[in-house]
Structure 1
Amino acid sequence: MRTPSLPSWMWSLGLATFLGLTACGGSGDKEPGDGNGEQEDAGTDPEISPPANPFADRVVSFQPGASAGFGQDLFPTVVLGPPRGEGSSAGSLDVLSLGRQGVIVLEFTDIAVVDGPGVDLIVFENAFVRFPETGVVAVSDDGVTWSEFPCDATNRAGGFPGCAGVKPVFSHPDNGISPTDPAVAGGDGFDLAALGLSRARFVRIRDSGANGYSGTSGGFDLDAVAVVNGVSLLGPSP
């Protein structure tokens, strides 16, 4: 039941983030693929740049946790388009709540994330000042073998290093702020070099289990994922 003293928009974001925090981590794990995770030739297109369509193309799987539900009426398109950030003092409602330790896997079919200068990938949640909701990010090039970015969901003082769902989102289709420019887009950036990887086509996001869980909007709320450094998998135009 909602507490009347809190604005309704706060509840829609699942903001009970002051409950007990637990750590998350691990890397190099495997999970079943869907049969189309074959590796492409990374040399198909040597030009590394933000692609024309930098967003995930499809949802491979979604396993909601307890207190998930918000955004499922618009699933899967709600997580496939651009971010719809509302800045540092408000969170977007164009999101999918994962619930406690819910997991979603996204695939890029036309492009691959590659290790280029600085941030290679940005994950957008609906975090805003004082209300982060952390998620653990992993990447894979075949959808089977995964490498996970270490996420310290207990380290509030340190800004939850390595986690997604920490920084506010500023990019929105209506404001002209580029979703592929880490300097202005907001969201949380990830560099493949930190994992010793050169390429990835799948992104997995798992709610850390250290967030607030209430109603149907609990935990990490995924807005979008965008490629900063990418190469085309389609080959040259005929």
Structure 2
Amino acid sequence: MSTLRFPAWLSGVGLATLMSLTACGGDDASGEPGPGDDGQRDAGPPPAAASNPFADRVVSFQPGASAGFGQDLFPGVVLGPPRGEGSSAGSLDVLSLGKQGVIVLEFTDIAVVDGPGVDLLVFENAFTRFPETGVVAVSDDGVTWSEFPCDATNRPGGFPGCAGVKPVFSHPDNGISPTDPTVAGGDGFDLATLGVSRARFVRIRDSGANGYSGTSGGFDLDAVAVVNGVSLGSTP
């Protein structure tokens, strides 16, 4: 079993190639790629071309008060790559969780594994001075969860451990890799923080410490992406 760290070339043409490889497995309303398999996972480099680094399925969604935005495009709106708008604007390709709303996502093509540095990226539509925090947890079986500590009240400290803090720069149209933590934006999570070696499920819960009004309250999920992963097709 070998660990895959998705490289920086997974952007622009590389991402378009990935979408064409996985499109045959997608059946969500948005047309975003679903789980795919071209039968060549172990045929050689580049490994990322045979694996979809984004969430494949929504297991459950429990919206909180002031949720609603994005539900007309659900579940596809949270699958596939992020559509970041940079440091001065938030993406509209998102799902609002509402106050303490919870969503659970599953990776069916690959699993997140503990590798060098950041293993998982979570993309919200935060931009400068407008963070909306969420609490991230991971699980390998969807039953037993490990939650990253999130200090949603520590604005001076940058809300340590929370998602929804950093702007998102990666977009399918701009060539910025969605799996390179140094350029993609979003918030990175290292499984080593929790002493976890592998995860196939990601749970995101609105922290309850955000603004809530209308139908776009709280944490707005754009996408999640695997940085360090292993193909499930190569494991027994």
Task: With the length of structure 2 as denominator, give the TM-score of the two structures.
Answer: 0.80
Q: CA RMSD of the aligned region, Å?
A: 0.9
Query: SS of the counterpart of 1:156?
Result: coil
The structure, 1 or 2, with the larger RCO (C-alpha pairs under 8 Å, 6+ apart) is: 1
1:101 paired residue number? 100
- Separation (CA, whole Å) in 2 of partners of 1:47 and 1:150: 26
1:79 paired residue number? 78
1:46 paired residue number? 2
Shift of residue 48, structure 1, vs aligned partner: 2.6
Deviations 1:136-172 (A, max 9, x none): 0000000000000000001000000000000000000
1:134 paired residue number? 133
Please show how residues 1-238 of structure 1 align to structure 2 within 5 Å.
Answer: 45-50=1-6, 51=48, 52-235=51-234
Partner amino acid, structure 1, of 2:147: E
- Separation (CA, whole Å) in 2 of partners of 1:110 and 1:224: 16
- Separation (CA, whole Å) in 1 of partners of 2:201 and 2:127: 26
Shift of residue 47, structure 1, vs aligned partner: 3.2
Identity %, equivalent residues: 90
- Separation (CA, whole Å) in 2 of partners of 1:164 and 1:156: 13
Segments of 5+ residues of structure 1 without an aligned counterpart are 1-44
- Separation (CA, whole Å) in 1 of partners of 2:149 and 2:223: 20
Task: With the length of structure 1 as denominator, give the TM-score of the two structures.
Answer: 0.80
- Separation (CA, whole Å) in 2 of partners of 1:154 and 1:173: 33
Higher helix proportion: 2
> Moved runs in structure 1, 4+ residues, more than 6 A?
none
- Separation (CA, whole Å) in 1 of partners of 2:80 and 2:143: 24
- Separation (CA, whole Å) in 1 of partners of 2:172 and 2:228: 20
Deviations 1:82-119 (A, max 9, x none): 00000000000000000000000000011000000000
Partner amino acid, structure 2, of 1:141: D
Shift of residue 81, structure 1, vs aligned partner: 1.1
Segments of 5+ residues of structure 2 without an aligned counterpart are 7-47
